[in-house]
């Protein structure tokens, strides 16, 4: 019932371009990438593929190993935000790219609305995404996949820390719920946007990831908090903040033009609409 209450953030399709929810998971008893050996990566890939191959219906898909994948396919997948790449210097320095061509790959369903990254930064990144603002649908798909995978393997978890991940910032729920939202008016003066994000513990950034700038008034808005709250609370916090952002953008979009702007337009023979 909680999931169903999330609904569609933007039924008009005017503001939300796309919606994405992801979680990270680690195999119980297996090393994180810096400590992993070739045989560890191969074993994890084998376990993961066996589990993923049992997904059915909408979640059923195909696994594409990074090893042997031609450059053109890799680049196309990266461009479409489906595939990861080894270009984070911090992760590289931490040993996150050890044995890069072994045990890594991507699984995705036919519609590319459910993806799983194997051994990118974490052993698993489960991702549900689609165009538009139907957050309920996106989260429900992810929850269904995780529930199934939990019957096939054990994930590393610790009391007080939640699900264990390579990077401490993902500990807890490990969940990142995000939307790409089109707010050209708010982008002209981002203070209102930043204030709303601060109020709801959200992180605004450009659509090309951390430290990137907004382009065309489109921002990536996501939850900051992963630890000390439930998955639903994290998703719902993002929902509330995004709805407020949309409300403010709609206000600015519908605001009447200033009188001097109208007068200039009338003098030029424009319609005052």
Q: Provide DSSP, 66-128.
A: STT--HHHHHHHHHTT-S--S--HHHHHTTTTTTTTSS-EEEEETTSSEEEEESSSSSEEEEE
Residue 18 assigned ligand-binding role = yes
State yes or no: is 121 an active-site residue. Answer: yes
Residue 207 in marked binding region: yes
Confidence of residue 214 (pLDDT cuts 50, 70, 90): low
From residue 84, give the alpha-carbon distance in Å to each of 76, 105, 145, 223, 227: 11, 9, 20, 21, 25
Domains of the chain plus CATH, in order, are: 4-258 (3.30.590.10)
Is the pLDDT score of 106 beyond 90? yes
Q: Is 79 a catalytic residue?
A: no
What's residue 88's pLDDT?
78
Q: What is the CA radius of gyration of the chain?
A: 21
CA distance 66 to 68: 6
- Given this model, what pLDDT does residue 263 score? 57
167 a catalytic residue: yes
Residue 262 confidence (pLDDT): 54
Indicate if the pLDDT at residue 79 is higher than 90.
no
244, pLDDT greater than 60:
yes
The strand pairing partners of 131, in sequence order, are: 18
The model's confidence at residue 76, banded by pLDDT at 50, 70 and 90, is: confident
Exactly one of 99, 167, 225, 233 is catalytic; name it: 167
Q: Is the pLDDT of residue 265 over 80?
A: no
Average pLDDT of span 203-223: 79
Catalytic residue among 22, 25, 104, 226: 22
Confidence of residue 95 (pLDDT cuts 50, 70, 90): confident
- Structural contact between residues 63 and 107, judged by C-beta atoms closer than 8 angstroms: yes
Catalytic residue among 42, 99, 205, 225: 205
Report residue 255's pLDDT band, with 50, 70 and 90 as the boundaries.
low
pLDDT of residue 74: 80
**Catalytic residue status for 22:** yes
Q: Quick check: 218 and 15 in contact, CB under 8 A? A: no
Non-local (6+) Cβ contacts of 50 within 8 A are: 152
**138 contacts 235 by C-beta, under 8 angstroms:** no
178 is in an annotated binding site: yes
CB distance 154 to 44 below 8 Å: no
Average pLDDT over residues 152-173: 95
Catalytic residue among 169, 230, 253, 264: 169
Torsion of CA 186, 189, 190, 195, to 10 degrees: -90
The verdict on whether 125 is a catalytic residue reads yes
Most confident of 80-84, 100-104, 214-218: 100-104
Q: Average pLDDT for residues 25-46, to the nearest whole number? A: 95
Percentage of the chain lying above the pLDDT 90 cut:
71
Q: Is-catalytic flag, 205?
A: yes
Query: What pLDDT does residue 189 have?
Result: 85
Phi, psi of 225 (to 5 degrees): -85, 130
Beta-bridged to residue 105, according to DSSP, are 65, 118
Query: How many whole angstroms separate alpha carbon 249 and alpha carbon 15?
Result: 9
26 has binding-site annotation: no
Residue 114 CA, distance from chain mean position: 11
Mean pLDDT of 240-254: 94
Q: Which residue has the tokens 């930064």?
A: 121
pTM higher than 0.95: no
Q: Are 16 and 242 in contact (CB under 8 A)?
A: yes
């Amino acid at each position: 019932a909680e999931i169903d209450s999330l609904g569609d953030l933007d039924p008009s399709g005017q503001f939300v371009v796309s919606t994405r929810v992801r979680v990270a998971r680690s195999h119980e008893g297996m090393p994180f990438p810096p400590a992993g050996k070739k045989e560890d990566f191969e074993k994890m890939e084998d376990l993961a593929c066996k589990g993923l191959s049992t997904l059915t219906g909408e979640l059923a898909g195909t696994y594409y190993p990074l090893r042997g994948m031609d450059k053109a396919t890799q680049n196309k997948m990266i461009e479409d935000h489906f595939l990861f790449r080894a270009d984070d210097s911090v992760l590289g320095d931490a040993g996150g790219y050890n044995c890069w061509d072994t045990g890594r790959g991507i699984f995705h369903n036919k519609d590319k609305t459910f993806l799983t990254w194997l051994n990118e930064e974490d052993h698993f990144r489960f991702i549900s995404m689609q165009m538009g603002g139907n957050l309920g649908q996106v989260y429900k798909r992810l929850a269904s996949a995780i529930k199934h995978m939990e019957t096939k393997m054990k994930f590393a978890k610790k009391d007080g820390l939640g699900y264990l991940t390579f990077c401490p910032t993902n500990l807890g729920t490990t969940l990142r719920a995000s939307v790409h939202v089109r707010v050209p008016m708010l982008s002209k003066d981002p203070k209102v946007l930043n204030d709303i994000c601060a109020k709801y513990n959200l992180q605004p950034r450009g659509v090309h990831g951390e430290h990137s700038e907004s382009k065309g008034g489109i921002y990536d808005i996501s939850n900051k908090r992963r630890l000390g709250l439930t998955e639903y609370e994290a998703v719902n916090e993002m929902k509330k903040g995004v709805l407020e952002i949309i409300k403010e953008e709609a206000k600015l979009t519908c605001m009447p033009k200033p009188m001097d702007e109208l007068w200039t337009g009338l003098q030029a023979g424009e319609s005052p609409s």
